[in-house]
Amino acid sequence: MSFLSELWEFLKERKKFWLLPIIVMMVLFGGLLVLSQGSAVAPFIYTIF
Amino acid sequence: MRILGLSAFYHDSAAALIEDGQVVAAAQEERFTRKKHDSNFPIHALEYCLDAAATGLDGVDYVAFYDKPFLKFERLLETYLAFAPRGFASFRMAMPVWLREKLFQKDLLGKKLTAMAPDFDCKSKLLFSEHHLSHAASAFFPSPFEEAVVLTMDGVGEWTTTSVAIGKGRDLKVVKEIHFPHSLGLLYSAITYYTGFRVNSGEYKVMGLAPYGEPKYTQALLDNVIDLKPDGSFRLDQSYFDYCTGLRMTSEKFNRLFGRPARQPDKDLLDQFHMDMAASVQKVTEEAMLRLTRSLAGEYGIPNLCLAGGVALNCVGNGHVLRDGAFKNLWIQPAAGDAGGALGAALAACHLHLHLDRPRPVTPGKDAMRGSYLGPAFAQDDIERRLTKAGARFQVLDEARVIDSVAGALADGKAVGWMQGRMEFGPRALGGRSILGDPRSPTMQKTLNLKVKYRESFRPFAPSVRREDVADWFELDADSPYMLLVDGVKESKRREMTAEEQALFGIDKLNVPRSEIPAVTHVDYSARIQTVHADTHPRYHALLSRFKDLTGCPVLVNTSFNVRGEPIVCTPEDAFHCFMGTELDVLAVGDCLLLKDEQDPSLKTDYKSAFELD
């Protein structure tokens, strides 16, 4: 829960509420990817980390 | 007041501890875990820092982390959104890692810290600093300046890739930023990738390769790839890159512009094209650094410049900035990469967040990094106990005899392992954990490369020289205690190469004696200089003095105490194992002197394949 409240505070601070639906969609979609994968290990690509 | 700074989870995890604004201890995690660029939570470095201050985590007032994960996630999402539907492959790679781990870094940090001290209150004591503010703080607060322009440049932090801040007293304000995806560091990394080296660790190889090439693609880069403005600000044409959406750094369009694909290190040999490409990106980087620093000097009228961020490890560029003279004084944070962010986060928390009512002490001409000797040291009895346990055979001498013996061995052409005092913080070995050799020897370069470092490098070694002698041997006459400035070997010490020698390439050209100190002279007569100061490392300074008495030369080859792919040694045991696994002749650890001939041959190990190639 503290994570969600911090995320909300972050969006408020950055005035980026428009990111919220995108975050929800991406998290859902990303969640599917997590579930469909065995490992979270990815090769080192500079900018995605 | 004690503040602990941490950097972790990307690369080069580190911890740093400051006490009442003074740097007490700092170290990179890789030195303890023996895993190069270790990105895990720096538990060992953290424990060392607490030990150095004789306290526990409950004795620490605040913990500061060096960047802000949510901001980074925001950049990631907005970048994917901007390029969608391209970038799905990258998205698919990144999301699981973020959703499982990286988004919850605060929780993870909290768990790690409360495991060490159950009463540690993360809510009030755990602080986060922005990535480039951490770099800027690490560059300004330990600097010897009351007021300075602070320029940070790297690959990317959260959004920022280049920032300008103005530091005054204990205040530091960011005044300008350039944002992702426009990044000087990423341009350099892209060419590192394109020339077949590993991104994020091979950049220094590109810098070392550049003197073999002609910068014949500079104009093509400036005309197409980077729009470099007169004030040094820049934009990268993203159609030439693939790092926003793909799993490569450069795109097909980049390949078409330069007429060939990226070099595959396991298949394609390095050739003149790659050297010309390295020289070209080096030239563009230098030009950007010079334009930036000139315009900042003109705009702010402050004579002092501080640098940090990965690009500030480009010591060739730094040398140009110093010689250009737009700023009268230059100071560069020795741990300019992300490890130094740990120190910067702690300093930013101390000076900018907590507003402690205490002035920042500044000693003109003397920085607060203590020579960057901020890592572990070992007491003499502890060294003897550890070496004995490891099976070493050694003599214990007094300091003068250690120096005398080592200087004599060096003058005889021996390769010496030198572990003295505290370990260095930052990527360079500065005489605390170094392999030393005689720079006058025309074979030293080859010997150290093949018998000790196990590599065939096109880069020469770096020289250490007494500060008072630097101007006699090099064109530099300034402090360079952290080996972050490149300048020429003095004209009078050079030897012109013949036309046939000029035509040689790579290691063959490097093996041509080009000066009185060939082992540290690059093919363009440049050298990456470390000035040694009696007040920060008296024993190393005394060794150089004794070597000068014996040979007339106050310069030594100084390369990091490790083999290819291995982190620099930390403990006496690490030093002994590296000594036994290589063809080092002599090892000096504190007052203990070890000769290879006297060691038990059964303790020799196959060391060179123990570490993955960097």
pLDDT in tens, B383-394: 999 999 999 999
Q: How many domains does chain A have?
A: 1
Distance of alpha carbon B582 from alpha carbon B559, whole angstroms: 14
- pLDDT, mean over chain B: 94
pLDDT for B494: 95
As a three-state string, the secondary structure of B137-191 is HHHHCCCCCCEEEEEEECCCCCCEEEEEEEEECCEEEEEEEEECCCCHHHHHHHH
The CATH number linked to B518 is 3.90.870.20
How close B484 gets to chain A, by Cα (Å)?
A: 24
Residues with Cβ < 8 Å from B392, sequence gap 6 or more? B576, B592, B594, B599
Indicate if B284 and B408 belong to the same structural domain.
no
Residue B513's alpha-carbon distances to B443, B497, B502, B509, in angstroms, are: 9, 8, 12, 9
Nearest by Cα to B560 from B427, B442, B440:
B427
Task: Give the chain A residue nearest B98 (alpha carbons).
Answer: A49
How close B92 gets to chain A, by Cα (Å)?
A: 7
How close A13 gets to chain B, by Cα (Å)?
A: 11
Closest CB to A33 among B81, B96, B180: B96
ipTM above 0.85, yes or no: no
Indicate if B85 and B211 belong to the same structural domain.
no
Q: Is residue B612 part of a domain?
A: no
Distance of alpha carbon B193 from alpha carbon B197, whole angstroms: 5
Distance of alpha carbon B317 from alpha carbon B351, whole angstroms: 30
Q: How many domains does chain B have?
A: 3
Indicate if B387 and B359 belong to the same structural domain.
no
Q: Is residue B42 part of a domain?
A: yes
How close A34 gets to chain B, by Cα (Å)?
A: 5
Residue B357 has pLDDT above 70, yes or no: no
CB B482 within 8 Å of CB B428: yes
Residue B149's alpha-carbon distances to B138, B141, B152, B163, B409, in angstroms, are: 13, 12, 10, 10, 45
Q: What is the CA radius of gyration of chain A?
A: 14
In 3-state terms, what secondary structure has residue B433?
A: strand
Is cis: bond before B181, omega within 30 of 0? yes
Dihedral over alpha carbons B17, B21, B24, B26 (to 10 degrees)? 40
From chain B, the residues in CB contact with A39 under 8 A are: 96
The residue to which tokens 């402050």 are assigned: B302
Q: Averaged over B58-76, what is the pLDDT?
A: 94
- Both tokens of B508, joined, read 């063959």
Distance of alpha carbon B417 from alpha carbon B421, whole angstroms: 13
pTM, two decimals, is 0.94
pLDDT category of residue A30 using cuts at 50, 70 and 90: confident
Q: Is residue B388 part of a domain?
A: yes
Distance of alpha carbon B292 from alpha carbon B47, whole angstroms: 40
- B106 and A47: CB-CB below 8 Å? no
Indicate if B200 and B116 belong to the same structural domain.
no
Residue B421 falls in which region: left (phi positive, over 0), alpha (psi -120 to 50) or beta: left
Q: What is the CA radius of gyration of chain B?
A: 24
From chain B, the residues in CB contact with A45 under 8 A are: 90, 93-94, 243, 247
- A3 and B74: CB-CB below 8 Å? no
Q: Is residue A44 part of a domain?
A: no
Which of B329, B344, B359 is where one domain is finished? B329
Q: Averaged over B537-558, what is the pLDDT?
A: 98
How close A15 gets to chain B, by Cα (Å)?
A: 12
- A47 and B107: CB-CB below 8 Å? no
Strand arrangement of the beta sheet that strand B62-65 belongs to: B22-28, B14-19, B2-7, B62-65, B126-128
* Sign of the torsion formed by the C-alpha atoms of B296, B478, B203 and B537: negative
Residue B505 has pLDDT above 80, yes or no: no
What's the domain range around A1?
1-28
Residue B567 has pLDDT above 70, yes or no: yes
Residue A42 has pLDDT above 60, yes or no: no
Indicate if B310 and B444 belong to the same structural domain.
no
For residue B153, what are the β-bridge partners?
B162
DSSP conformational letter for B229: -
- A42 and B94: CB-CB below 8 Å? yes
Q: Is residue A23 part of a domain?
A: yes
In 3-state terms, what secondary structure has residue B275?
A: helix
Residue A39 has pLDDT above 80, yes or no: no
Please identify among residues 26-45 of chain A the ones whose CB lies closer than 8 Å to any CB of chain B: 26-27, 29-31, 33-34, 37, 39-45
What phi and psi, each to the nearest 5 degrees, are found at residue B412? Answer: -85, 5
- B92 and A23: CB-CB below 8 Å? no
Question: pLDDT tens-digit profile of B178-192?
Answer: 999 999 999 999 999
pLDDT for A43: 47
pLDDT for B614: 60
* Cα angle: B373, vertex B377, B380; to 5 degrees: 140
Q: Is residue A47 part of a domain?
A: no
Distance of alpha carbon B200 from alpha carbon B188, whole angstroms: 10
pLDDT for B500: 87
Interface residues of B toward A, Cβ cutoff 8 Å, are 10-11, 70-71, 74, 76-81, 90-104, 106-107, 155-156, 180-181, 186, 189, 199-200, 243-244, 247, 249
* Cα angle: B143, vertex B148, B153; to 5 degrees: 85
Q: What percent of chain B has pLDDT over 70?
A: 98
Give the orientation angle of helix B380-389 with respect to helix B572-581, to 10 degrees.
Answer: 50
In 3-state terms, what secondary structure has residue B203?
A: helix
pLDDT category of residue B109 using cuts at 50, 70 and 90: very high
Q: Is A6 on the interface with B (CB under 8 A)?
A: yes
pLDDT for B450: 84
Indicate if B355 and B259 belong to the same structural domain.
no
Closest CB to B247 among A16, A40, A45: A45
Q: Is residue B178 part of a domain?
A: no
Q: Which of B11, B179, B353, B533 is catalytic?
A: B11
Nearest by Cα to B487 from B497, B473, B506:
B473
- A44 and B94: CB-CB below 8 Å? no
Q: Is residue A12 part of a domain?
A: yes
Interface test with A, best of B67, B98, B122 (most A CBs within 10 A): B98
pLDDT for A48: 52
Question: pLDDT tens-digit profile of B144-154?
Answer: 999 999 999 99
The CATH number linked to B223 is 3.30.420.40
**Active-site annotation holds for B320:** no
Which position has the higher pLDDT, B407 or A25? B407
- A48 and B155: CB-CB below 8 Å? no
pLDDT for B90: 85
pLDDT category of residue B508 using cuts at 50, 70 and 90: confident
What's the domain range around B587?
380-603
Q: Averaged over B401-408, what is the pLDDT?
A: 98
Indicate if B457 and B594 belong to the same structural domain.
yes
Q: Averaged over B494-509, what is the pLDDT?
A: 82
Question: How many Cβ contacts (< 8 angstroms) between chains A and B?
Answer: 82
Strand arrangement of the beta sheet that strand B160-168 belongs to: B171-179, B160-168, B147-153, B304-308, B329-332
Q: Is residue A37 part of a domain?
A: no
Question: pLDDT tens-digit profile of B173-223?
Answer: 999 999 999 999 999 999 999 999 999 889 999 999 999 999 999 999 999
From chain B, the residues in CB contact with A2 under 8 A are: 107
Question: pLDDT tens-digit profile of B127-170?
Answer: 999 999 999 999 999 999 999 999 999 999 999 999 999 999 99
Is cis: bond before B85, omega within 30 of 0? yes
From chain A, the residues in CB contact with B10 under 8 A are: 49
How close B181 gets to chain A, by Cα (Å)?
A: 9
- Both tokens of B340, joined, read 């130094």
Task: Give the chain A residue nearest B77 (alpha carbons).
Answer: A23
Residues with Cβ < 8 Å from B262, sequence gap 6 or more? B193, B194, B195, B196, B248, B249, B250, B255
CA within 13 Å, CB half, B181: 25
Nearest by Cα to B373 from B332, B420, B424:
B424
From chain B, the residues in CB contact with A29 under 8 A are: 95
CB B121 within 8 Å of CB B127: no
Indicate if B301 and B212 belong to the same structural domain.
yes
Residue B363 falls in which region: left (phi positive, over 0), alpha (psi -120 to 50) or beta: beta
As a three-state string, the secondary structure of B38-49 is CCCCCHHHHHHH
- Both tokens of A5, joined, read 């409240």
- A45 and B155: CB-CB below 8 Å? no
Q: Is residue B120 part of a domain?
A: yes
CB B345 within 8 Å of CB B137: yes
Other C-beta atoms lying within 10 Å of the C-beta of residue A29: 13
Task: Give the chain B residue nearest A29 (alpha carbons).
Answer: B95
Indicate if B568 and B426 belong to the same structural domain.
yes
CB B236 within 8 Å of CB B225: yes
Question: pLDDT tens-digit profile of B294-350?
Answer: 999 999 999 999 999 999 999 999 999 999 999 999 999 999 999 999 999 999 999
Indicate if B342 and B322 belong to the same structural domain.
no
Q: Is residue A41 part of a domain?
A: no
Residue A45 has pLDDT above 70, yes or no: no
Q: Is residue A49 part of a domain?
A: no
Indicate if B325 and B348 belong to the same structural domain.
no
Indicate if B270 and B138 belong to the same structural domain.
no
pLDDT for A47: 57
Closest CB to B243 among A31, A37, A47: A47
